[in-house]
A and B are shown apart, each in its own frame.
Chain A
Amino acid sequence: GAVVSQHPSWVICKSGTSVKIECRSLDFQATTMFWYRQFPKQSLMLMATSNEGSKATYEQGVEKDKFLINHASLTLSTLTVTSAHPEDSSFYICSASPPDMVGYTFGSGTRLTVV
């Protein structure tokens, strides 16, 4: 089945540094990928829609300059959390909809802890 590989699974970084999270579609081309964030005991929140070859579409309240999204190829989208702060500590997950599949497939998620 269609697989989205997400790395890293977890990361601890110091406040002020930047962290890059990758999502790769392993056996299909993804023109669109979605990035979500989940704070503890809260629901998933869509952060942005990543479009191959063009700018990402950000949801209201999500800072474009802080959460940089790059979708330079049909199989790779990256989310970079810039100048991370402890309040950015969260679970980040991506998803894509394979062209020959009904529904969405999700990455395994990245747990970010900023200390």
Chain B
Amino acid sequence: KNEVEQSPQNLTAQEGEFITINCSYSVGISALHWLQQHPGGGIVSLFMLSSGKKKHGRLIATINIQEKHSSLHITASHPRDSAVYICAVVRNTGNQFYFGTGTSLTVIP
């Protein structure tokens, strides 16, 4: 069993739709990251969370430490949001990273 599970694996949405990607983890963590990987492979760090909620533009990330669960929301989705979104956690012992397998998002015009 992976330490980090993401769902869905693949997601296709119409432009303008509200999108949610979920991440569950099974280890104690000090932080959780949401990453965006573009088709060329480059990775951008979207958020780092240790509690609560963060918002940046049309992106919102939430985390529930007790339930070991985080969600990434995209409001008013746009084709340029098409990418792979990766959830990564930093273990609170040893600072080890664990990565989810990613959610491939395609937003259709």
Contacts and interface: CB of A to CB of B under 8 A. Distances in A.
A108 B48 CA distance: 19
Interface stretch (A12-20, A22-30, A43-51, A67-75): A43-51
A108 B41 contact: yes
Contacts of B26: none
Nearest to A104: B45
A42 B101 contact: yes
Residue in B41, B47, B96 whose Cβ sees the most chain A Cβ within 10 Å: B41
A111 interface: yes
A103 B88 contact: no
Interface of A: 34, 38, 42-46, 91, 93, 95, 102-106, 108-109, 111
Interface of B: 33, 35, 40-45, 47-48, 86, 88, 96-97, 99-102
